[in-house]
Amino acid sequence: MAQSTGAELHESALLERDFFVLHTIYGIALIVGFEKLGESTYSLALSYFGTTPVLPAPRPLLLLLAASVSFVGMRFFWAVDNVLRFKKHCAAGGRGAWRKQLIAIHYPILFLHAFVFFFICRLHLDLSEPIESGHAHPYFFVYMSAGLLIGNAIWLQVLARGREECKGRELHWSANNLGCGLALLCFAGLMQHCEANTSMVLWMAFSLLVLNSLIDILRTSDAY
């Protein structure tokens, strides 16, 4: 019994080490995206004290859009905890099998989250540049945001394939992200068909991203 308990404690310590490393690297990857968001916000705020640039959309809208993206990014800092919680309570199999799954599946998926988030932040920086130098397309921004939410929703569905008691928060987050992601795609497709202007497209993106974060925080704030 003592040997069994010692082995379990050793396995738990190794697991905590694995996830500490993952938390650290994943956090740094997300911060790279936040750096671009900070650059765009700084540029927009500074423009209030100089010559008014000709921007693709109003400055207040772009600042609000930066806030909505930052809320999404802050929530995604906890994505690693979804894997840790699932492993501790739901996943079956030995440590070796789990580590292979972690390295082959969950590590790449988590870093894909950070990569897409960087794209979104970099697109916001482009949208905050004067028209003559900016080159981001507002629909690209919307489609990347939708892709991040939908991709995360599918991943959470995979994690929720354990026991029933492990499906609470994951399925709520998945439904919220999937619904808002699909709404972004549908509204963007309709607006593109109707040739809506940039401001209308970005107001729609801001509204749905804020709604997504509000639902998430109001329903599962205890998870943060």
Please calculate the CA angle 26-217-177 and round it to the nearest 5 degrees. 65
Q: What is the mean pLDDT of residues 4-19?
A: 62
pLDDT at 144 over 90: yes
Quick one: tokens of 65? 């859009």
* Predicted local distance difference test score (pLDDT) of residue 2: 47
Q: How distant is the alpha carbon of residue 133 from its chain centre?
A: 28
Element (H, E) at 39: helix 2-46
Contact 159, 197 (CB under 8 A): no
Contact 68, 208 (CB under 8 A): no
Q: What is the maximum alpha-carbon separation in the chain?
A: 74
Q: What is the Cα–Cα distance from 214 to 217, expressed in whole angstroms?
A: 5
48-87 pLDDT, tens per residue?
776 667 788 899 999 999 999 999 999 888 888 777 777 6
The mean predicted confidence, pLDDT, of the chain is 82
Q: What is the Cα–Cα distance from 81 to 96, expressed in whole angstroms?
A: 20
128-132, 142-146, 174-178, 207-211: least confident range: 128-132
Contact 128, 55 (CB under 8 A): yes
For tokens 């650059």, the residue is 39
pLDDT at 162 over 50: yes
pLDDT at 3 over 80: no
* Predicted local distance difference test score (pLDDT) of residue 1: 47
* Predicted local distance difference test score (pLDDT) of residue 19: 74
Q: What is the mean pLDDT of residues 154-175?
A: 76
Q: What is the Cα–Cα distance from 121 to 119, expressed in whole angstroms?
A: 6
Q: What's the whole-model pTM score?
A: 0.84
Quick one: tokens of 84? 């840790």
